């Protein structure tokens, strides 16, 4: 993996992004391929190695964080370094069953002989001659420098050029026929969006979040492969199974306010404990009507969620615990401040707690889901908890209401 931004103050970050690109691009390629048997390995024979339909696909990646990434040309260091990597890999692969891909975020100039590598049908002979000429020039200039006892030029390209010239002509021609360049590829920051575009069977609004969740899982698999905690090869079937587990989570997270602005029946009566709790703190008719309305909405919302998505039971229970904790912080402080207060003052302080659940809690307590926008659920759930005496408004509500 070469990074095209060396010798800058951003060397470390560019290198880190380069490897991260390598990892994420491997997943992107695995998703792009439609073959069920596809599998990928990172940092084995190449930056990215894919097995698909009995073929080995080797990928060298050239990432750049520059606004205008450098083009891929015959004089490009990255090209000749890649050639050297692939020549070294020839003894380890079946050349007839292997394709070599150079992936770059930069362009290939239209006038460059390398354009032949962007089209599988283009004759490679003119390119072969151009590469031989360039490699011979590099070697000759270094030989001249050696004779003249000056610093040798083209140090970064020398090994690739020398290895290319040393290849048997038949193998050299066969290798070149199996090399392809993919220019103008997405950058590391664009991969989540690009990945999401391949999740066709998923609702459009879920795709980016699914891609991000899949990438998070993938990052962990890459770490495990590199430190020996799992097989070096990750199969497409693993990606498919992970996606199938992500989809229900996305559906679960997307909670809509089904009862916002829906009124309860005129003859609806809440549990008597709701009224008793409010009476203890001297609540006004407006406090009662709001509590009844929101309790009805929250109860019906919970019932609908559990009926349609039974797996939400645990999420609802955990959110109840969150609401109880937030209430406890408010109620405990209120109780501490009740010492030496008159009964009327204690009731008034309890009324403030009740009104906190209506006016402030929906904004202060994290919503049950990132997609949730209805305030009635927090308000109404507090009333449901109050009916069960799990929460209350008066400082002594448990004692007074159990008598």
For residue 30, the tally of other CB atoms under 10 A from its CB is 22
pLDDT score, position 10: 46
Contact 331, 361 (CB under 8 A): no
Closest listed residue to residue 55, CA positions, set 225, 180, 183, 158: 180
d(CA 20, CA 289): 56
For the ranges 6-15, 46-55, 137-146, 285-294, which has the lowest average pLDDT?
6-15
Split at pLDDT 50, 70, 90, the class of 11 is low
Split at pLDDT 50, 70, 90, the class of 12 is low
Mean pLDDT of 200-206: 83
d(CA 365, CA 209): 23
Element containing residue 39 per DSSP (H, E): strand 39-42
What are the b/e assignments for 236-253, b being 16+ CB within 10 Å?
A: bebbeeebeebbeebeee
pLDDT score, position 251: 66
What DSSP string runs through 86-118? HHHHGGGS-GGGEEEEEEESS---TTSGGGGGG
d(CA 28, CA 56): 17
Question: Tens of pLDDT along 220-239?
Answer: 999 999 999 999 999 999 99
Question: Tens of pLDDT along 383-393?
Answer: 999 999 999 99
The angle subtended at Cα 44 by Cα 39 and Cα 45, nearest 5°, is 95
d(CA 181, CA 71): 12
Residues in the chain: 403
d(CA 42, CA 371): 36
For the ranges 167-171, 203-207, 282-286, which has the lowest average pLDDT?
203-207
Locate 1 and state its tokens.
């993996």
Q: Which stretches of 69-124 are DSSP H helices?
A: 77-89
d(CA 336, CA 321): 22
Contact 309, 251 (CB under 8 A): yes
CA neighbours closer than 13 Å in the CB half-sphere of residue 231: 6
Residue 1: is it exposed, middle or buried by C-beta count within 10 angstroms (0-12/13-18/19+)?
A: buried
* pTM for the model: 0.63
Question: Tens of pLDDT along 63-82?
Answer: 887 888 899 999 999 999 99
Mean pLDDT of 125-136: 98
Q: Give SS3 for 225.
A: helix
Q: Is the pLDDT of residue 34 over 90?
A: no
Split at pLDDT 50, 70, 90, the class of 403 is low
Question: Tens of pLDDT along 249-259?
Answer: 776 667 888 99
Split at pLDDT 50, 70, 90, the class of 6 is very low
Q: Give SS3 for 51.
A: strand
Question: Tens of pLDDT along 336-370?
Answer: 999 889 999 999 999 999 999 999 999 999 999 88
Locate 164 and state its tokens.
């290319």
Residue 234's φ and ψ, nearest 5 degrees, are -110, 130
């Amino acid at each position: 993996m070469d990074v095209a931004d060396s010798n800058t103050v951003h060397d470390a970050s560019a290198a880190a992004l380069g490897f991260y690109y390598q990892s994420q691009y491997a997943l992107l390629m695995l998703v792009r391929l439609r073959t069920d048997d596809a599998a990928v390995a990172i940092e084995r024979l190449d930056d990215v190695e894919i097995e698909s339909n009995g073929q080995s696909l080797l990928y060298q990646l050239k990432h750049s964080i520059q606004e205008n990434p450098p083009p891929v040309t015959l004089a490009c260091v990255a090209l000749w370094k890649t050639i050297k990597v692939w020549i070294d890999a020839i003894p380890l692969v079946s050349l007839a069953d292997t394709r070599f891909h150079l992936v770059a975020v930069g362009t290939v100039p239209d006038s460059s002989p390398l354009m032949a590598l962007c089209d599988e049908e283009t004759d490679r002979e003119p390119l072969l001659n151009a590469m031989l000429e360039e490699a011979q020039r590099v070697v000759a200039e270094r030989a001249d420098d050696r004779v003249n006892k000056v610093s040798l030029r083209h140090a970064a390209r020398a090994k690739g050029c020398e290895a290319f010239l040393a290849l048997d002509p038949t193998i050299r021609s066969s290798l070149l026929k199996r090399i392809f360049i993919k220019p103008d590829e997405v950058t590391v920051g664009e991969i989540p969006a690009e990945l999401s575009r391949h999740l066709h069977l998923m609702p459009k609004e879920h795709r980016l979040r699914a891609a991000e969740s899949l990438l998070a899982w993938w990052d962990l698999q890459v770490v495990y492969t590199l430190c020996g905690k799992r097989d070096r090869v990750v199969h497409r079937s693993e990606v498919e199974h992970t996606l199938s587990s992500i989809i229900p989570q996305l559906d679960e997270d997307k909670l809509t306010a089904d009862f916002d602005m829906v009124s309860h029946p005129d003859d609806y009566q809440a549990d008597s404990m709701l009224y008793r709790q409010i009476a203890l703190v001297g609540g006004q008719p407006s406090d009662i009507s709001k509590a009844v309305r929101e309790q009805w909405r929250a109860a019906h919302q919970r019932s609908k969620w559990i009926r349609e998505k039974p797996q939400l039971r645990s999420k609802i229970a955990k959110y109840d615990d969150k609401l109880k904790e937030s209430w406890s912080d408010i109620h405990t402080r209120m109780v501490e401040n009740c010492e030496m207060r008159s009964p009327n003052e204690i009731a008034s302080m309890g009324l403030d707690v009740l009104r906190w659940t209506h006016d402030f809690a929906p904004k202060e307590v994290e919503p049950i889901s990132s997609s949730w926008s209805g305030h009635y659920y927090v308000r109404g759930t507090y009333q449901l908890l109050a009916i069960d005496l799990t929460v209350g408004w008066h400082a002594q509500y448990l004692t007074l209401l159990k008598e």
